């Protein structure tokens, strides 16, 4: 089958063609272009009729199915990929990160581990990152034991759960406990698929299909589930842990992606998953296993894998995987930009200092890092400089007086502060005269050259600046 062509002109034909700008784009064509690039949502056009909405959704549907599991606020969604490489457009089905527990753990250890996994988090650019799901492995093979552990885990955490066993009796015991919570069953295989299919139908679960190094079998089982109305499927072609087998593992992932986005083979057009946790079974040394798991996980994230089960819930392992994931799954068109806004640091009030900077991710990252590190209580106006740093944006004209004033008005800065002092970066000194002209009621001053000096600068200068 040919690759599906998504043309902005074709989408444009179905839009209201009023160029009213209510969707945030200047014209219907610009909106169509953004829809194709997936940088806006169809719902932003309030004038679109139902029939046209349906047609556009069908036209824009990604070749890879989007699947969900879990329920309520914590429901997870992944898949929806369109391309082989993220450079062609973007990856969308952000890797879901799950850590495992197992049913032979002592109750005390189980509770502690579930609490650790659920509570593991860190903050990056004001966004808090946490683990996405917990995988419960049946090691005992005992359905009753598994049931008890699933109950215990679901009482402690609200994270979506993955039930892991190849024995349908065990899976059914766990699925019963989670009725209505849509767990992911791991896994249907060539030997158990009929019984797993029955469980998936009865309890309306998502299903992982596991067929190590046999993509034909993977597709054949998926086709059967598809025919029987189970659409939330994820494919696991096996994670081969030994260093010499990694190529095979990666090659299987690439073949599956190609079968989906290039050949549009429906039964292989599902998200894929990997289990770096297998490293924990392949190394005698716990430390070596943890390092190898981390190595595998980072490789898989770069391939755009949609779900991973991990074994070592350590923050040193979790952070780099998340950092990499956030970079890989960020739309290339948006990756260098922070949303313009008036950002509050450390609970500022109306007397707190006001500063301005550019919306380049790195600039914002460094400045916000220094403000957080030194506990600076302030307002930071981030203006749209087309993702250029301050000095570059001064040169290009994006960090200019007019743009700063426009953003001050847009975010109603005057109502947030009692004083009229605006601090601009020292590297933007050349716009100072013009900005003072544009803001005659404000005292516009140069801040320090480096954001690491902001705390000292404010300690030394702020009182005088507001008093003068
Ligand atoms: S809101 Fe709708 S009609 Fe208006 S410009 Fe956007 S796409 Fe066109």
- Output the tens digit of pLDDT for each of the chain's 468 residues: 444 557 888 899 999 999 999 998 889 998 998 898 888 889 999 999 999 999 998 888 888 999 999 999 999 999 988 888 877 778 888 999 999 999 999 999 999 999 999 999 998 776 899 999 999 999 999 999 999 999 999 999 999 999 999 999 999 999 999 999 999 999 999 999 999 999 999 999 999 999 999 999 999 999 999 999 999 999 999 998 877 788 999 999 999 999 998 888 999 999 999 999 999 988 889 999 999 999 999 999 999 999 999 999 999 999 999 999 988 888 766 667 888 999 999 999 999 999 999 998 888 888 998 998 899 999 999 999 988 889 989 988 999 999 999 999 999 999 999 999 999 999 999 999 999 999 999 999 999 988 999 999 999 999 999 886
Please give the distance, rounded to the nearest whole angstrom, from the Cα atom of residue 55 to the centre of ligand 1.
16
Q: Relative to the CA of 22, which ligand 1 atom is closest?
A: 1
Q: Is 85 flagged in the annotation as binding?
A: no
C-beta neighbour count of 65 within 10 angstroms: 22
DSSP H or E run through 129: strand 127-130
Query: From atom 2 of ligand 1, which residue's Cα is the shortest distance away?
Result: 45
Q: What is the pLDDT of residue 1?
A: 41
Q: 378: annotated binding-site residue?
A: no
H/E stretch holding 171 = helix 168-177
Task: Determine which residue's CA is closest to atom 6 belonging to ligand 1.
Answer: 23
SS3 state of residue 393: helix
Walk me through the domains of the chain, giving residue ranges and CATH numbers: 8-60 (1.10.15.40), 66-328 (3.20.20.20), 341-467 (3.40.50.11600)
- Cα of 48 to ligand 1 centre, how many Å? 8
**Residue 45 annotated in ligand binding:** yes
Structure confidence at residue 2 (pLDDT): 41
Report whether the peptide linkage leading into residue 187 is cis, meaning its omega lies within 30 degrees of zero.
yes
Among protein residues, the one with the nearest Cα to ligand 1's atom 7 is: 28
Please report the atom of ligand 1 found closest to the CA of residue 20: 4
Q: What is d(CA 134, CA 144) in angstroms, rounded to the nearest whole number?
A: 19
- Rounded distance between C-alpha atoms, residue 282 and residue 198, angstroms: 33
* 234 CB-contact burial (10 Å; exposed 0-12 / middle 13-18 / buried 19+): buried
Task: Look at the alpha carbons of 310, 315, 316, 319 in this order and tell me if their dihedral is positive or negative.
Answer: positive
Measured at the CA of 461, the angle between CA 411 and CA 420, to 5 degrees, comes to 30
Would you say 363 is a known binding-site residue?
A: yes
**Measured distance CA(187)–CA(387) in Å, rounded:** 44
Buried b (16+ CB within 10 A) or exposed e, 305-342: bbbbbbbbbeeebbeebbebbbebbbeeeeebbbebeb
Provide the phi-psi class of 432: left if phi over 0, else alpha when psi is between -120 and 50, else beta: alpha
Taking the CA of residue 47 as reference, the ligand 1 atom at the shortest distance is 2
Q: Is 392 annotated as a binding residue?
A: no
Ligand 1 mean position, distance from CA 387 (Å) = 26
DSSP code for 183 = P
Q: Which atom of ligand 1 is nearest to the CA of 32?
A: 7
CB neighbour class for 452 (10 Å; exposed up to 12, middle 13-18, buried from 19): middle
By the 8 A CB rule, do 165 and 140 touch?
Answer: no
pLDDT of residue 84: 84
Residue 16 CA to ligand 1 centre (angstroms): 6
Report strand pairing: 273-274 vs 307-310. Answer: parallel
For the CA of 27, the closest atom of ligand 1 is 5
Instruction: List residues near ligand 1 (CB under 6 A).
Output: 15-16, 18-23, 25, 27-28, 31, 45, 47
8, 14, 20: residue to mutate for ligand 1 pocket, most atoms within 8 A of CB: 20
């Amino acid at each position: 089958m040919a690759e599906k062509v998504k043309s902005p002109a074709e989408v444009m034909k179905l839009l209201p063609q009023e160029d009213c700008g209510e969707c945030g784009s200047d014209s219907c064509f610009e909106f169509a272009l953004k829809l194709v690039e997936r940088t806006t949502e169809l719902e932003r056009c309030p004038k679109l009729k139902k029939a046209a909405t349906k047609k556009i959704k069908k036209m824009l549907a990604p070749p890879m199915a989007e699947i969900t599991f879990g329920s309520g606020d914590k429901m997870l969604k992944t898949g929806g990929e369109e391309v082989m490489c993220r450079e062609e457009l973007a990856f969308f089905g952000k890797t879901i990160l799950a850590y495992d527990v197992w049913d032979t753990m002592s109750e005390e250890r189980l509770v502690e581990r579930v609490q650790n996994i659920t509570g593991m988090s860190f903050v990056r650019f004001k966004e808090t990152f946490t683990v996405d799901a917990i995988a419960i492995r049946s090691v005992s093979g005992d359905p009753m034991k598994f049931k008890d552990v699933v109950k215990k885990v679901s009482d402690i955490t609200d994270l979506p759960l993955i039930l892991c066993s190849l024995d349908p009796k065990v899976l059914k015991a766990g699925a019963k406990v989670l009725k209505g919570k849509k767990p992911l069953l791991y896994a249907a295989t060539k030997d158990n698929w009929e019984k797993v299919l029955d469980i998936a139908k009865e309890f309306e679960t998502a299903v992982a299909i596991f067929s190590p190094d046999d993509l034909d079998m993977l597709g054949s089982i998926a086709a059967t589930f598809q025919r029987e109305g189970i659409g939330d499927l994820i494919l696991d072609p096996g994670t081969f842990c030994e260093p010499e087998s990694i190529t095979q593992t990666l090659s299987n992932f690439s073949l599956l992606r190609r079968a989906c986005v290039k050949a549009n083979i429906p039964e292989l057009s599902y998200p894929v998953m990997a289990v770096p946790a297998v490293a924990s079974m392949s190394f005698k040394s716990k430390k070596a296993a943890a390092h190898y798991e981390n190595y595998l996980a980072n490789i898989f994230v770069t391939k755009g894998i949609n779900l991973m089960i991990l074994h070592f819930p350590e923050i040193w392992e979790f952070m780099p995987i998340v950092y990499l994931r956030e970079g890989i799954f960020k739309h290339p068109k948006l990756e260098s930009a922070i949303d313009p806004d008036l950002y509050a640091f450390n609970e500022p009030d109306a007397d707190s200092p006001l500063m301005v900077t550019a919306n380049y991710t790195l600039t914002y990252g460094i400045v916000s890092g220094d403000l957080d590190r030194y506990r600076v209580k302030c307002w930071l106006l981030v203006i749209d400089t087309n993702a250029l740093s301050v000095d570059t944006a001064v040169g290009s004209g994006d960090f200019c007086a007019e743009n700063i004033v426009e953003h001050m008005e847009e975010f109603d800065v005057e109502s947030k502060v009692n004083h009229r002092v605006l601090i601009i970066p020292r590297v933007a000194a050349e716009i100072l005269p013009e900005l003072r002209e544009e803001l005659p009621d404000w005292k516009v001053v140069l801040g320090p050259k480096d954001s690491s000096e902001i705390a000292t600068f404010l300690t030394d200068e702020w009182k005088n600046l507001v008093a003068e």
